[in-house]
Amino acid sequence: MSRNRIIGELIAIAGADSVFHEPSDLIVYEYDGSVDGAVETARPVAVVLPRNAQQISELVKLANREKLPITPRGAGTGLSGGAVSQAGGIVIGLSRMNEIIEVDPIDRTALVEPGVINLELSEFTTPYGFSFAPDPSSQRACTIGGNVAENSGGPHCLKYGVTTNHILGLEMVLPDGRIVWVGGRAPGLSGYDLTAAMVGSEGLLGIVTKALVRLTPLPEAISVQLAAFPTMEAASVAVSRIIGAGIIPAALEMMDQLAIQAVEPVYHAGYPMDAGAVLLIEVDGLREDVDDTVPEITRICTESGATTVRNARTKVERDLLWKGRKMAIAAMGRLAPAYYLHDTVVPRTKLPATLKHVEAVSREYKLPIANMFHAGDGNLHPLMLFDRHKKGDVERVLHASKDLLTYCIEVGGALSGEHGIGTEKRGYMELVFTGEDLAAMAGLKNAFDPGGLFNPEKLFPKGYVCGEVRALRAKAIAQKHGIYPM
């Protein structure tokens, strides 16, 4: 492979202003939002910023011919290494494909390109009376294409669901360069649900070039309550009781004392500094329903030991309460020079025990751990504070992470709720899935991408893709039946 020749062909496809190959340009693309030590950095041969699906198709055909890996990339805000080009090759950045093509208020849909910023889509559709419900904390920067790749969630996924619940169809470039459309506007389409297969596939099956998204009507009324508790356990009990009462808030978020200490002095959101934990509880819908539900939540929180339950009286106050929660990660720089943000899920009934285990891990590994998470659906985000320049800190974080993830799986949880697997957690997949499970998943990957060029070294533990799949499946079946081949 002649590097200069490849660069020349990339420029011929996308234009000189869309191809970056100098070391000073490429260094920016060695990273995503994940922590040093958890995901290794890697430098691509070149980064291309195409403007349409046809250019992507031509880039993919070139990569196939030259056997160059391809890594799709959105805004680079991901936290699991999904946008890092571990095998080198070409990074296809989608940031210039950022047009909102159509809003259909009758069908309640929008057709968008993958580089559209999440929050900007909701701001654009607000005059029509709609929003895009998935709202990750990074929604001011993350893109719809990235949301699709990682099946992102956010505070409002408790009531409205994660990204997969809001994607109706996708235009995509397959690993052989073909441009296809999967899904569509009509409900209940026959055949395989390839749209669902694409959402959360982390760029291993195709590159999204357009997304037909479902829009959510803006509610008639919104209430946001702040409930302060002396302990995390008391707040966890309140969460279980709220859901147990048949109340499904739009969002139900928890922050512990360490998170409050980081946030409140900066953003003055109104969180009591002496609270052991606070809950942010948002209820939306018809005004009569909201008016009936808010007093019930207040009663449940008070009976669960809340020291304060306060209702935001204005939109400004609501926005400030939410600003504190969504900017909590940024505020952690006040407490430590680095952090490792986890993403795991446990059943709601296991929240109190899991939070106690987080405390035990913090003590054992001598790591401060802040908790800010989607309590309503058990999606935990323990945030380990450390100094990457201090000898042994990164190693302690990684050992503590393994301890924490293993515990969450043992109590019936999941590896990731919204950040994806990427390279960060691929080594943990065998904690959840059998060899037969992984071989079946790899079979799907190979059906789309037999050359293994799309986002390699992601999601699967080593050995579960390409030609090894059949042998691994045979071994898994043999082991299942007690037959161990020599």
SS (H, E, C) the chain: CCHHHHHHHHHHHHCHHHEECCHHHHHHHHCCCCCECCECCCCCCEEECCCCHHHHHHHHHHHHHHCCCEEEECCCCCCCCCCCCCCCCEEEECCCCCCEEEEECCCCEEEECCCCEHHHHHHHHHHHCEECCCCCCCCCCCEHHHHHHHCCCCCCHHHHCCHHHHEEEEEEECCCCCEEEEECCCCCCCCCCHHHHHCCCCCCCCEEEEEEEECEECCCEEEEEEEEECCHHHHHHHHHHHHHCCCCCCEEEEEEHHHHHHHHHHHCCCCCCCCCEEEEEEEEECHHHHHHHHHHHHHHHHHCCCCEEEECCCHHHHHHHHHHHHCHHHHHHHCCCEEEECCEECCHHHHHHHHHHHHHHHHHCCCCEEEEEEHHHCEECEEEEECCCCCCHHHHHHHHHHHHHHHHHHCCCECCCCCCCCCCCHHHHHHCCCHHHHHHHHHHHHHHCCCCCECCCCCCCCCCCHHHHHHHHHHHHHHHCCCCCC
Taking alpha carbons only, the member of 332, 390, 380 closest to residue 353 is: 380
**pLDDT number for residue 41:** 83
Cross-strand bridge partners of residue 371: 382
**pLDDT number for residue 484:** 39
**CATH tag, 100-217:** 3.30.465.10
| Cβ proximity of 262 and 370 under 8 Å | yes
* Model pLDDT for residues 358-375, shown as the tens digit of each residue: 999 999 999 999 999 999
| Buried b / exposed e along 183-222 (16+ C-beta atoms within 10 A) | beeeeeeeeeebbeebbbbbbbbbbbbbbbbbbbeebeeb
Rounded CA-CA distance 418/409 in Å is 16
Q: Which amino acid is at 47?
A: V
Average pLDDT rounded to a whole number, residues 143-171: 97
By CB atoms closer than 10 A (0-12, 13-18, 19+), residue 292 is exposed
**pLDDT number for residue 274:** 96
* Model pLDDT for residues 203-223, shown as the tens digit of each residue: 999 999 999 999 999 999 999
By CB atoms closer than 10 A (0-12, 13-18, 19+), residue 457 is buried
Whole-model pTM: value is 0.92
* Model pLDDT for residues 71-127, shown as the tens digit of each residue: 999 999 999 999 999 999 999 999 999 999 999 999 999 999 999 999 999 999 999
Residue 104 neighbours by CB distance under 10 Å: 14
**pLDDT number for residue 34:** 81
Strands of 100-104's sheet, edge to edge? Answer: 100-104, 109-112, 207-214, 167-173, 179-183
| Cβ proximity of 407 and 354 under 8 Å | yes
**Which positions ≥6 away from 444 have C-beta within 8 Å?**
197, 205
Query: Sign of the C-alpha dihedral, residues 124, 126, 129, 133?
Result: positive
pLDDT band at 470 (very low <50, low <70, confident <90, very high): very low
User: What percent of the chain stands above pLDDT 70?
Assistant: 94
pLDDT band at 1 (very low <50, low <70, confident <90, very high): low
Report domain extents, the chain.
Answer: 3-93, 100-217, 219-335, 433-480
**Category of 5 on φ-ψ map: left (φ > 0), alpha (ψ -120 to 50) or beta:** alpha
**pLDDT number for residue 37:** 58
**pLDDT number for residue 33:** 85
Q: Which of 304 and 475 is assigned the larger pLDDT?
A: 304
Q: Does domain 219-335 have CATH number 3.40.50.150?
A: no
The DSSP bridge pattern shows strands 216-217 and 251-256 to be: unpaired
Q: Does domain 3-93 have CATH number 3.30.43.10?
A: yes
* Model pLDDT for residues 252-273, shown as the tens digit of each residue: 999 999 999 999 999 999 999 9
Assess whether pLDDT exceeds 80 at residue 478: no
* Model pLDDT for residues 170-182, shown as the tens digit of each residue: 999 999 999 999 9
Query: Sign of the C-alpha dihedral, residues 289, 292, 294, 300?
Result: negative
- Residue 226 backbone phi and psi in degrees, to 5: -110, 120
* Model pLDDT for residues 16-50, shown as the tens digit of each residue: 999 999 999 999 999 898 866 567 788 999 999 99
Assess whether pLDDT exceeds 60 at residue 481: no
Assess whether pLDDT exceeds 80 at residue 3: yes
| Cβ proximity of 5 and 68 under 8 Å | no
Rounded CA-CA distance 409/414 in Å is 6
